[in-house]
Amino acid sequence: MFEAHFQSFDDAPEGAASAPRVKALRTELARRGLTGFIVPRADRHQNEYVPAADERLAWLTGFTGSAGAAVVLMDRAALFVDGRYTLQARQQADLSIFAIEHLVENPPPRWLEANLAAGDRLGYDPWLHNVESAERLAKACVAAGATLVAVEADLFDAIWPDRPAPPLGPVKLHDMRFAGEEATAKLARIRGEIGKLKADALVISDPHAVAWTFNIRGSDVAHTPLPLAFALIPREGLPALYVDGRKLSNEVRHALAPLADLREPAALPGDLAALGAAKKTVRLDQATAADALARLITAPGGKAPRGPDPIAVMKAVKNPVEIAGARAAHRRDGVAVVRFLQWLEREAASGKLTEIDAVEALESFRRDTLALKDISFPTIAGAGPDGAIVHYRVTRKTNRVISPGLFLIDSGAQYEDGTTDITRTVAIGESTAEMRERFTRVLKGHIAIARAVFPEGTTGAQIDPLARQFLWRAGLDFDHGTGHGVGSYLSVHEGPARLSKLGTTALQRGMILSNEPGYYKAGEYGIRIENLVLVIEAPPVEGAEKPLNAFEPLTLVPIDRRLVEIGMLTAEELHWLNDYHARVARELAPHLDAQARAWLQEATRPLAVA
């Protein structure tokens, strides 16, 4: 009945045939006078999702996780993964070739310092590392008496016979009724920032920023409508947009022509070198700018200062049209998720429903909106113990029946008017007192964020602990941030603001973030309650001395009332929950059929102290 178009359930391949590939790499290294090479999981833009052509790490090592790196020396090799992936790496990699190392505790530079020999020549692709990463590698090499060698050509072209072609996803215009601000206006603001930074030009290396600036979207990577592209914005004069011409229809080309000189990506190095030769100052994004970009500018004598991408904050602060779009997208998404939850409650009773069934159904309900462009990430559907695995992805092999207990489902959609991301944890049959008690602690944290009022200038790091205090009191916590920024028909993980210990960016009105505290009991169940929230001006307060902000929930889906221990909520918390549910019912009911509407009425019925 249902099916998933945007997500596969294939098991990760095991036991890759790495031996001949590593051998081919070593032969190629020897040919080039190198004694080692580092292979990150990265493309030229430091993207979260990378195109198949950039899956060098997976091809070489068999490891298919979303973060990692390998170092191949002549007599040894190591694969670096973080705690999430240790098990998976051991299953996927050939352990007779690769030692598995911890990406965070023993990162490549540290490992290199200990394993390189004096005189070694370690190669790296300067397009796949940002400047900071390259500097760390260089330092490690120096410490070991070795040399770091930039290899401009892509070594893998020579050794990867059936390498996929780079993607050529068509570029589409992002209509003003979604974008809300003309590209010309955005470019004027960006030029103002370039002036403030005392630079002659800015390289946009983050394709999200390219997409936002020029009001375009693409389809080069999964789940995020990105066009892989660079741009170069001079303080004065016409910008250049570096994008493969085969991605541009005549219509798109026509619309973009007045905004930018449309150039092939192969022209970028020469253009940067020319600016360098003219001793210009070209500003780079410290996070996404490849080391190669900096080298192209500085080699002929230019300056390439790095810092936060000035576009990141502009993009994070949504304009009124984007905000209206986000509200519409969340209403639409809420209808789909409510239909799913009603279906789930009915069908799970059979005791036969699986995690994959749930993922397929949810995507199908979303496709029923006729507006779904993609899911915003692979749905995390965790029944029982699988819910305790924070980054769980169901496969045919791990697929579990949704049996009595808790079921956690974290999912999102890409609509042209907005990106969604929602987690609900629902009771299947009877829940235990412990589950309800912990669910309620997570809920209290969620409500503490939702109800927070805070002065302008407050950072996400200052907000994050409010979500944890009730868990802390019980000796519990969750091992991830409380929230991340979310794009507007862009990435579901968007900087620079976040609700976490590391959230040093001030929260500004118009930013959209997730509010997703959780609790995970390994081997038993997981709890997470996630709404997206919009930073808004707080309602006026008599006597206030500072401009105040607050959060407005965008997500409109009931929170499972059967899991709430009412006695643990304060009057204010109960009031918030009942208010939220009343709003969910009011906004969604008109768009539901009678059966779903009846379910919604019950699911949003006010809770009252007995």
Residue ranges binding a copy of itself (CB under 8 A): 434, 452-455, 458-459, 461-466, 468-469, 472-477, 501, 538, 541, 543-546, 548, 570
Q: How far is CA 202 from each of CA 74, 238, 268, 281, rounded to the nearest angstrom?
A: 40, 12, 13, 9
Q: Which is nearer to a copy of itself, 66 or 462 (CB)?
A: 462
Q: How far is the CB of 448 from a copy of itself (least distance, A)?
A: 8
Q: Which is nearer to a copy of itself, 168 or 461 (CB)?
A: 461
Shortest distance in whole angstroms from residue 545 CB to a copy of itself? 6
Token duo for residue 609: 């102290």
In the bound state with a copy of itself, the residue whose beta carbon lies nearer, of 165 and 433, is 433
Please report how close the Cβ of residue 538 comes to a copy of itself at its closest, in angstroms.
8
Question: Residue 360 CB: number of other CB atoms within 10 A?
Answer: 20
Least separation in angstroms between CB 461 and a copy of itself: 6
CB of 354 to a copy of itself, least distance (A): 29
Instruction: Name the β-bridge partners of 380.
Output: 410
H/E element holding 443?
Answer: helix 433-450
Cβ distance to a copy of itself smaller for residue 390 or 461: 461
370 versus 571: smaller Cβ distance to a copy of itself: 571
**Does the CA dihedral 62-66-71-77 come out positive or negative?**
negative
Compute CA 263 distance to the chain's CA centroid, rounded to the nearest angstrom.
28
User: Residue 352: how many CB atoms within 10 A of its CB?
Assistant: 11
Strands (E), 45-151: 69-73, 77-81, 98-102, 121-124, 147-150
The beta-carbon contacts of 62-68 under 8 Å, at least 24 apart in sequence, are 62/13, 62/14, 62/15, 62/16, 62/18, 62/92, 62/93, 62/94, 63/88, 63/89, 63/92, 63/93, 64/12, 64/13, 64/88, 64/92, 65/41, 65/89, 66/41, 67/41, 67/103, 68/40, 68/41, 68/103
- For the bound state, the minimum distance from the C-beta of residue 544 to a copy of itself, rounded and expressed in Å, comes to 2
Q: Which is nearer to a copy of itself, 325 or 553 (CB)?
A: 553
**Toward a copy of itself, which CB reaches closer, 414 or 549?**
549
Contact in structure between 65 and 93 (CB atoms under 8 Å): no
CB 302 within 8 A of CB 280: yes
CA distance 596 to 362: 15
Give the shortest CB-144-to-a copy of itself separation in angstroms: 16
Whole-angstrom distance, CA of residue 426 vs CA of residue 194 = 49
Q: How far is the CB of 546 from a copy of itself (least distance, A)?
A: 5
For a copy of itself, give the closer residue by CB, 548 or 566. 548
Q: How far is the CB of 466 from a copy of itself (least distance, A)?
A: 7
Q: How far is the CB of 75 from a copy of itself (least distance, A)?
A: 27
Taking the CA atoms of 394, 399, 400 and 401 in sequence, report the sign of the dihedral they define. positive
- Minimum distance, C-beta of residue 541 to a copy of itself, in the bound complex (Å): 4
Per the CB < 8 A criterion, the answer to whether 31 and 37 are in contact is no
Q: Among candidates 528, 535, 606, which has minimal Cα distance to 574? A: 606
Beta carbons within 8 Å of 460's beta carbon, 6+ residues apart: 482, 483, 497, 498, 499, 500, 503, 504, 505, 507, 513
The residue among 3 and 477 lying less far from a copy of itself, judged by its C-beta, is 477
Is the Cβ–Cβ distance between 167 and 246 less than 8 Å?
A: no
Residue 326 or 507: which CB sits closer to a copy of itself? 507
610 class by beta-carbon count within 10 Å (0-12 exposed, 13-18 middle, 19+ buried): exposed
Pinpoint the alpha helices (H) of 116-174. Answer: 131-144, 156-159
CA dist., res. 476 & res. 274, Å (int): 57
User: Closest approach of Cβ 360 to a copy of itself, in Å?
Assistant: 34
Nearer to a copy of itself, 297 or 448 (CB): 448
Question: Whose Cβ is closer to a copy of itself: residue 504's or residue 595's?
Answer: 504
